[in-house]
Structure 1
Amino acid sequence: MRYLTVLLLSTLVLPALATDYPETRRQATTNNYHGVEVADPYQWLEDWSSPEVKAWSAGQNRVARAYLDGLPNREEIARRVEQVVSADTVSYYAAQRIGDRAWFMKYAPPRQQPFLIQIDADGDPATEEVVFDPNTADESGSVSIEWYKVSPNGKLLAIALTNAGAEVADLHIIDLETGKRIDEIVPRVNGPTAGGDISWDSDSTGFYYTRYPRDGEKSAAEQNFHQQLWHRRLATPLSADRYEIGELFDRIAEIRVTAHEPSGKLLLTMQFGDSGRFQLYLRETNGAWHRLSEYEDELVQAAFIDANALLILSRKSAPKGRFMRMDISKLPETASVPLFEAHDKALASDFYGDPTFIVHGGRIYAKSLSGGPQELEVIDLNGSSLPAPELDVAGVGQIVPWDDGVMVRQSSYLSPSSWLLFDGTQTSRHPLSSTSAVSFGDYRVVREFAVSRDGTKIPVNIILAKDARLDGSNPLLLTGYGGYGISMAPAFRPARKAWLEQGGIFAQANLRGGGEYGEDWHRQGMLTKKQNVFDDFHAVMTHLVEAKYTRVDKLAIEGGSNGGLLMGAMIAQHPADFQACISHVGIYDSVRSELSPNGAFNIPEFGTVDNPDHFRALYAYSPYHNLEKTAYPAILFMTGENDGRVDPMHSRKMTAALQYQNTSGKPVLLRTSGTTGHGSGTPLSESISQQVDRLVFLLDSLEMQYKKR
């Protein structure tokens, strides 16, 4: 049982340390959890509707801007960062193909936002046409595309549009021949965490869509929950849309849908919050819905083999995953058999992004994991391995059916993403593979292992100059995530060049809590075992110093979202072991996080204070609650005012607490963007501004002399 006691109010004017911070009052506020009184002196900073809180945030922004704008060589650094980020780096992603035509999202600086194009499937650049460009809809770059889906007949486009990074999106239907919007705008088909989805009818006359409560149906606080599936027939009133399923789902249900176009059957996957626990449902053509699995069955992903069979990825007694074939020809009865009993590599699953496996041409194409790097497995429908394309140390992205084979997106640390065509025997490069004017030819990647507190080996991937000397003098930026079963794969980031060319080293740790080695790896870093993630990261920090890649006064760390929680834990637990920290949109008050509008979705990953064991773990590592009067490193918090995933109140409270407790005289800064959210949909200009602030902060904090380029 939780209750709030406000004993008294007191006002504290913080001393001038690195800079003059805004006045921040401390309240003698406590909350009681299972008999434990938990102090919360900055709980008042949670209320964004308060003019006082907004004034305080604006004051923090002024301090951060004055500090960051006043750092040495900022103008030169800004020019270089803009040059690198806006370089001729063109990237095509989110592909869909129908017949001889294909659609891609295209990232092409200096445009503020990616846009949608259509092109002949062979990639002939002369056939490329812009289908929808959000940059023309809003010159500021605030409008962005969440997702799209072209109708089976190739004539209509369904596109979900959001504003200012809020991720709450409405669905627009566009005639691809005329470029004009047709039909009604369907409101609130996408939300910040549960996301959204659409599946067209096979005859292109309507579609199934995820629907959130609309005004008047639920309170404002409940409108990002209670996701359901509805059906819409084009050219009819919104009031005629048909409810399909979801009323009995959990409040934090998250839905994805896939159609089998030849039969008209529909597969629905429902996740319980961000838990990695799923139920599968199937809709027959007569409208009947059947539940195919329960949470405890541990079936995590599925795809149609044909109208009568599904390919299922199961983790039941198989934490690395195994494929099952489910017979759906005699519903409601089903029968499942394994394709093989075990797999030597972890099979990937991903509810939020592109499917990690597809069935096409009698073959299964599946992404597998090996501690960070990923591979593409090819398996026949009897479970036998087939020849697969050879990939460099890489990340495997979207897998798209393409003629008799597939097109797969490959990413690496040092080379732009490639679209590779694989026909079962030969691999070739599609013309729409990414290009970049930014070269990493002078750098190399090495992979090492640190040993965590309990003896677990933790991979770390390190990018450094080919001629770098390991004498402990190098500035090094280390990042990590460790949560939700998400694997941190190699990825090409042109902006990284601006750090590396200053003599910096970049390192990325593959921590428990992620999915790099399968579900066991994830479970070892969630709920009451979350401290393992923090121990892993600290072990990597220690390893990099002991191996003389860097030293403590040249070590900086960076993370975002769940990785921001990781940063907060390092600040609270190991403040003397690094020199600087940049933390984006992070979770810092682990005790009250679930009370945020989006917090309920995260309970399956982090736990709830209503459970005594969960509370003890949350309170023990909650960064905000574990600060003390001591010397902290230089810290830059970055958040977005429109963040619907992690409430910016976390950054406000953590900043206030650190500014009060810090005795080092080093800066604790809070930078809040008024035009962005959790990161998705951030305009190019704001992205460049953030990159500049990061780099000048790092160079100053690590006492690096700027090298002119």
Structure 2
Amino acid sequence: MNFKPILLTAGVLFSASFYSQKMTYPKALKGNQTDTYFGTAVADPFRDLENDSQPTKKWVDEEVAFSQNYLSKIPFREKVKNQLRDIWNYEKISAPSNEGDFTYYNKNDGLQAQSVIYRTNNKTKTTEVFLDPNKFSEKGTTSLSQLSFNKKGNLAAYSISEGGSDWNKIIIIDAITKKQIDDTLTDVKFSGISWQGDEGFYYSSYDKPKEGTVLSGMTDKHKVYFHKLGTKQSSDQLIFGGDKTPRRYIGANVSEDQRYLIISAANTTSGNELYIKDLKNGGDFIQINKGFDISAGIVDTEGDNLFIFTDKDAPNMRLVKTSIKNPSPENWIDVIPQTENVLGISTGGGYFFATYMVDAIDQVKQYDKTGKLVRDIVLPGKGNISGFGGKEDEKELYFSFTNYITPGTTYKFNADTGKSEVYQKPKVKFNPEDYISEQVFYTSKDGTKIPMMINYKKGVKLDGKNPTILYSYGGFNISLQPSFSVVNAIWMENGGIYAVPNIRGGGEYGKKWHDAGTKMQKKNVFEDFIAAGEYLQNKKYTSKEYMALSGRSNGGLLVGATMTMRPDLARVAFPGVGVLDMLRYNKFTAGAGWSYDYGTAEDNKEMFDYLKSYSPVHNVKAGTCYPSTMIITSDHDDRVVPAHSFKFGAELQEKQACKNPILLRIEKNAGHGAGRSTEQVIGENADLISFALFEMGIKL
């Protein structure tokens, strides 16, 4: 790639004067809706944007046109898009997996909309296409969600998402002939596919909301069904959930030895009940733990023994063993005890692989089934590891290594000898030797030390004039670990800095770190993010005029809350598919399940007051100059419904006091993020990079 570094001079600070007058935005339908919480009236003038009404559709079309018109005037927008296409155009191959007589893997030639599933016959060594999701739809907007085989490998079921929706369909095929052998199952959501022999499989779903309410109707009562091959979906047996045992999230899994059916049931995204049923010896479900105060999951079984990964009495997680004969928590025995670092577990080849997160960087140890240390695994460097999973009898396992300046490389690992070798190294047009990835620790408002990774090209001068994206998440126990992105590569190649603080609310330091960013402590998350921005500015990595705030989903809330709390912190803001109406988020689709992190406005007056004090939709103030903002959402997002972004955008456009633009970038035929076509992803990121540089006054 022949990219030239950006020269930042006063002569290229042109965008502020590009539009000499304040924007004239499309007008959203306004009403006089008011809700009362604990005696406090709260106006909700843009309530109609929650509905799929004609005025809303008209406004959305006008916003799409308005944003595209603005973005089309950025002179280097196509240049950035071409840069992205160029670096994206390399072969991507996944680690293989063995099913029956075949080895399966995913491959994308470069710019294909969706990756293709190939398979190699282990006897004849011939390779063929098994599934090509690019043929699911004309524009590549129907994606493969998951693929599951029975134990013999002769049957398979796969789920597809149309337009990015969380509502899936399941298609059942003869894995040998690739022919469909049963009716397509519809209206499946938040579901696994777990086979029981050759008879059929377990899956989960909700009752489908009424027509016209897919993006607003609550999905509250999850249900696990068993689909018996050759029968109609309407006759599928309800196994768990529904009115009898109402739970919001339920997953079903059959153990590798096919002996146990395992059920995890929860009402929020933290904490779960655990049930088990002995399919071999019969009997009813046994409840292993009651209530939702702990998280626990069965990761392996061995005869009567169950291996459970849990945070019970272990905020940094531990692996325990118990027996099906008496599996309650008081009988749990440590196999791999808790340490000062957060633990992750995978199984394969008859071993456990313990991944320890140390300041967001991974270390891996291999243990046998008794908990005896086999070896410390030598890794290629400091970064993020995934993999080491496989079947009990597989000795060749695979893992992937990556960090912010190292493209993800797949390694083959022998579980008995501990030797590893490169299996697949991507040929990306990127040289890690030209870049720096450094970790710093800064102090948040309350004195808490926060780690942050700062990534940039060698030779960047710390003069306060470097375009910088500050990205984070801060919620739901999700850890942001180093990972390579071709989008960030283009940003850095063009002179940008990419910074990621590991703020509270995530899982980098265990349950305590997560809980420190929930409910009445949620503002810790925003203060951590603000302090990260101030650190970068104080150390002259960048300055306000060259900083962009970015985050998606819960990270979209992070950006929305930060820019309304501190509109002076950054020049640009990207709240992506964000949770932005904190008083009503629990009224839509699966939103009520997020209450562990957020609390709800109905809980009590104190919780209501706290939510209202930072809810982005409710804290846009007239007369304030907000950053140049591109709100990102999708018309099929049925997880964080687009009404959040619509209402926030309407408030900002109405009250913006300066010339900084407020755009709504609404992707058509897309959902919360997963399954988008390559071209959709390239288009969004080209707009993001172009908009950021343009609003910072930088010319390519």
TM-score if structure 2 supplies the norm length? 0.91
Q: Which amino acid aligns with 1:92?
A: S
SS in 1 for 2:183: strand
Matches within 5 A, 1:660-679: 660-679=654-673
- Residue 10 of structure 2 is matched in structure 1 by none
Q: Select the residue among 539, 543, 566 that pairs with 2:558.
A: 566
Q: In terms of mean alpha carbon deviation, does 442-451 or 607-616 score higher?
A: 607-616
- Work out which of the residue numbers 510, 535, 543 in structure 1 matches 2:502: 510
What is the distance in 2 between the residues matched to 1:215 and 1:535? 38
Aligned equivalent of 1:234, options 229, 234, 252: 229
- The change in CA–CA distance for 1:701 and 1:218 in structure 2 (over 3 A counts) is closer
Residue 372 of structure 1 is matched in structure 2 by 360
| Residues 127 and 54 of structure 1: CA distance in aligned 2, closer, same or farther (over 3 Å) | same
In 2, are the aligned partners of 1:588 and 1:654 still within 8 Å (CA)?
Answer: yes
Deviations 1:353-409 (A, max 9, x none): xxx422642x31123222322232322333333313222222222332263363223
What SS does the corresponding residue of 1:387 show, helix, strand or coil? Answer: strand
The partner residue of 1:200 within 191, 195, 200 is 195
Please tell me whether the aligned partners of residues 166 and 676 of structure 1 are also in contact (alpha carbons under 8 angstroms). yes
Equivalent residue, structure 1, for 2:435: 443
Query: What is the Cα deviation at residue 689 of structure 1?
Result: 1.2
Q: How many correspondences in the alignment?
A: 673
Once residues 62 and 432 of structure 2 are traced to their aligned partners in structure 1, the CA distance between those partners, rounded to angstroms, is 40
Separation in 1 of the partners of 2:468 and 2:171? 45
Q: What residue number does 1:353 align with?
A: none
Give 1:309 shift. 1.3
3-state secondary structure, aligned to 1:646: coil
Q: Separation in 2 of the partners of 1:50 and 1:619?
A: 27
The amino acid that maps onto 2:176 is: E
Verify the 8 A CA contact 1:638 1:671 in the aligned structure 2: yes
Would the aligned equivalents of 1:92 and 1:433 in 2 still touch at CA under 8 Å?
no
Instruction: Give the letter for the 2:103 counterpart.
Output: A
Identity %: 28
Deviates more, 1:371-380 or 1:128-137: 371-380
Distance in 2 separating the partners of 1:148 and 1:401: 16
Partner SS for 1:283:
strand
Q: Is the 8 A contact 1:320 1:345 kept in 2?
A: yes
Deviation readout 1:412-454 (Å, 9 max, x if unpaired) = 2222222223324433235345442344431120001111111
Decide whether the 8 Å contact of 1:113 with 1:141 is kept in 2: yes
* Aligned match of 1:262: 257
Report the 3-state secondary structure (helix = DSSP H, G, I; strand = E; otherwise coil) of the residue aligned with 1:557: strand
- Shift of residue 520 of structure 1? 0.6
Return the alpha-carbon distance in structure 2 between the equivalents of residues 218 and 502 of structure 1: 44
For 2:32 and 2:20, the matched residues in 1 are separated by 23
CA distance change for structure 1 residues 29 and 260 in 2, over 3 Å: closer, same or farther? closer
- The equivalent of 1:630 in structure 2 is 624
Inter-partner Cα distance in structure 1 for 2:329 and 2:430: 56
Q: Is the 8 A contact 1:388 1:425 kept in 2?
A: no
What corresponds to 2:39 in structure 1?
35
CA shift at 1:340, angstroms?
5.3
Q: Which residue number in structure 2 is paired with residue 6 of structure 1? A: none
Tell me whether 384-393 or 176-185 shows the greater mean CA deviation.
384-393
Amino acid at match of 2:119: Q
Deviation at 1:567, TM superposition (A): 0.5
Q: Closer, same or farther in 2 for the Cα pair 1:570/1:211, shift >3 Å?
A: closer
Aligned residues of 1:90 and 1:436 also touching (Cα < 8 A): no
Give secondary structure in 2 for the equivalent of 1:182: coil
How far off is 1:137 after superposition? 2.4
Shift of 1:287: 4.9
Contact 1:327/1:334 (<8 A) preserved: no
What do residues 583-632 of structure 1 show as CA deviations (whole Å, max 9, x unaligned)? 21111111111112232122222111111232122111101111212111
- Kindly indicate whether the alpha-carbon contact (under 8 Å) linking 2:249 and 2:267 is maintained by their aligned counterparts in 1: yes
1:83 deviation in Å? Answer: 1.7
Say if 2:544 and 2:569, in contact at 8 Å, map to a contact too: yes
Partner of 1:12: none
Output aligned runs, 1:121-160, within 5 Å: 127-160=126-159
Give the CA deviation at 1:553. Answer: 0.9
Distance 1:16 1:60 in 2: 20
SS in 1 for 2:530: helix
Query: Are the equivalent residues in 1 in contact too, given 2:36–2:42 (CA < 8 A)?
Result: yes
Tell me which of 42, 64, 76 is aligned to 1:73.
Answer: 76
- 1:696 and 1:333 map into 2 onto residues whose CA distance is 54
8 A contact 2:402–2:483 mirrored in 1: yes
Alignment partners' CA distance in 2, 1:245 and 1:635: 45
Corresponding residue number in structure 2 for 1:10: none
Q: Is the 8 A contact 2:575 2:631 kept in 1?
A: yes
Aligned counterparts of 1:360 and 1:270: Cα–Cα separation in 2? 29
What secondary structure is seen at the aligned counterpart in 2 of 1:184? coil
User: Following the alignment from structure 1 to structure 2, what is the Cα–Cα distance between the partners of residues 294 and 692?
Assistant: 49
CA contact (8 A) 2:289 2:329 kept: no
Match of 1:109 in 2: 110
Name the stretch that deviates more: 313-322 or 696-705: 313-322
Structure 2 residue 305 is the aligned partner of structure 1 residue 309: yes
Residue in 2 aligned with 1:324?
Answer: 320
Deviates more, 1:409-418 or 1:422-431: 422-431
* In 2, Cα distance between equivalents of 1:41 and 1:219: 20
> Could you tell which deviates more after superposition, 494-503 or 338-347?
338-347
Residue number in structure 1 paired with 2:15 = none
SS at match of 1:178: coil
Q: What residue in structure 2 maps to residue 273 of structure 1?
A: 268
Quote the Cα distance in structure 1 between the aligned partners of 2:136 and 2:28. 40
- The one-letter code sitting in structure 1 at the alignment partner of 2:401 is Q
How far, CA to CA, are the matches of 1:567 and 1:660 in structure 2? 19
Closer, same or farther in 2 for the Cα pair 1:472/1:61, shift >3 Å? same
Provide the rounded CA distance (Å) in 1 between the counterparts of 2:46 and 2:21.
20
Give the Cα–Cα distance (whole angstroms) in 2 for the partners of residues 393 and 616 of structure 1: 43
* Higher alpha-carbon deviation: 677-686 or 385-394: 385-394
Q: Flag the 1:694–1:217 CA change in 2: closer, same or farther, 3 A.
A: closer
> Structure 1 380/248 Cα, relative in aligned 2: closer, same or farther at 3 Å?
farther
Q: Distance in 2 between matches of 1:703 and 1:219?
A: 42
Q: Output one character per residue of 1:298-343: Cα deviation in whole Å (capped at 9) or x when no partner.
A: 2422222313111112222321112211111357998322235531
2:597 to 594, 601, 605: 605
Q: Could you tell me whether the CA contact under 8 Å between 2:366 and 2:376 is conserved in 1?
A: yes
Q: CA deviation at 1:509?
A: 1.4
Distance 1:156 1:340, change over 3 A: closer
Distance, in Å, in 2 between the alignment partners of 1:699 and 1:250 is: 52
Which residue of 380, 392, 395 corresponds with 1:404? 395
Q: Distance in 1 between matches of 2:174 and 2:258?
A: 25
Structure 1 stretches lacking a partner, 5+ long: 1-14, 349-355
Amino acid paired to 1:623: P
Retained in 1: the 8 A contact 2:136–2:143?
Answer: no
- Residue 249 (structure 1) shift: 6.7
Q: Of residues 613, 633, 638 in structure 2, which corresponds to 1:644?
A: 638
Match of residue 11 from structure 2: none
Aligned residue identity for 1:136:
K
> Which of 690, 694, 697 is the equivalent residue of 1:700?
694
Q: Distance in 2 between matches of 1:479 and 1:177?
A: 45
Residue aligning to 1:419: 410
Judge conservation of contact 1:92–1:434 (CA < 8 Å) in 2.
Answer: no
Q: Distance in 1 between matches of 2:211 and 2:497?
A: 52
Alignment of 1:172-191 (within 5 A): 172-189=171-188, 191=189
Q: What residue is the counterpart of 1:11 in the other structure?
A: none
- 1:244 pairs with 2:244: no
Q: 1:679 to 1:296 in 2, by over 3 A?
A: closer
| Alpha-carbon spacing, 1:442–1:216, altered in 2? closer, same or farther (3 Å) | closer
Give the residue type in structure 2 aligned to 1:113.
Q
What code does the residue aligned with 1:44 have? Answer: D
Query: Are 2:461 and 1:469 equivalent residues in the alignment?
Result: yes
CA contact (8 A) 1:474 1:554 kept: yes
Equivalent residue letter for 1:692: A
Cα gap change, 1:413 to 1:261, in 2 (>3 Å): same
